[in-house]
Amino acid sequence: MDLKLAGHTAVVTGGGSGIGLAAAEAFAAEGCGVALWDVSPTVTEVAADLARRFNVPATGVRVDVTDFEAVRSAAGQLSAVDHVVHCAAVGSGKFGFPFTNLSPADWPRSLEINVMGMVNVAHAFAPAMAAAGRGTFVFLASVAGQIGSQTDPPYSAAKAANINFAQCMAKDLAPHGVRVNTVCPGMVQTPLNRSVWQAWHDQQPEAERLTYEEWAGRKVKTIVPLGRWQSPADIADTIVFLSSERAAQVTGQTINVDGGFVMHW
């Protein structure tokens, strides 16, 4: 299916690795130029590699999404942006069960990056897109933002805020021809997922501990109807589709790519 993205430009925050990088690769495979934003010092090299592999314009810039002036400055260096994908995020590093295991001091960093980072990106790009009368935003949230996950309460709360604000944006920007959607990954093997396992592992009697592979395998088969992990590429495919004209009538939606983990009825 031709997604008609060739010649477009997409900005991907958190594009230096993980789902953000997978999204950038998926855009590049469609002939779309990409601008990768990340705090990683290797983002420039990652972008150069994308340019070589896919023969598209690709740039990498170190940007801290919590710094609005830096975000606005980086946005101002781009001549035209058709699509914005916001993947930059962080967990609190602290785990609930119950939330009182945390303290209020454990919350600000996660909220600043996950919520205000989204706000900064929205304010940096929305006015120009509205003036142009076109463009798309896709925000990466999580099923944790829909089910009240106790795993990482600050992260879960922030992801719920992402979903809600994306809907607010979609309503505001629809009259200007700009679409806004959210994608929620389910069970993806990431450093955060491994941290959850480590927290569980360290609390178990030694005789009952499982390796990460054993724990993860049992967990995904127990809670995911399709019985398998999602990959960064699975998430990226949905992000790119929602950014394309094939999804021209889709806005304000929260799309779960989770193997059926979260079902609403």
Q: Which of these is catalytic: 159, 171, 219, 221?
A: 159
Catalytic-labelled residue, pool 94, 155, 171, 212 = 155
Tokens 């996660």 — which residue? 110
Give dist(CA 155, CA 113) in Å, integer. Answer: 10
3-state secondary structure of 91: coil
* Annotation marks residue 159 as catalytic: yes
| DSSP3 helix / strand / coil % (the chain, rounded to 5) | 50, 15, 35
Contact status, residue 181 vs residue 251, Cβ threshold 8 Å: yes
Q: Which residues contact 94 (CB under 8 A, 6 or more apart)?
A: 101, 102, 106, 152, 154
CA gyration radius, the chain: 18
- Beta strand segments in 63-157, E: 83-86, 136-140
Q: Is 161 helix (H, G, I), strand (E, B) or coil?
A: helix
- Report the SS3 class of residue 230: strand
Catalytic status, residue 212: no
Please tell me whether residue 148 adopts helix, strand or coil conformation. Answer: coil
Region at 71 (left for phi over 0; alpha for psi -120 to 50; beta for the rest): alpha
Phi, psi of 40 (to 5 degrees): -70, 135
Residues assigned a catalytic role: 155, 159
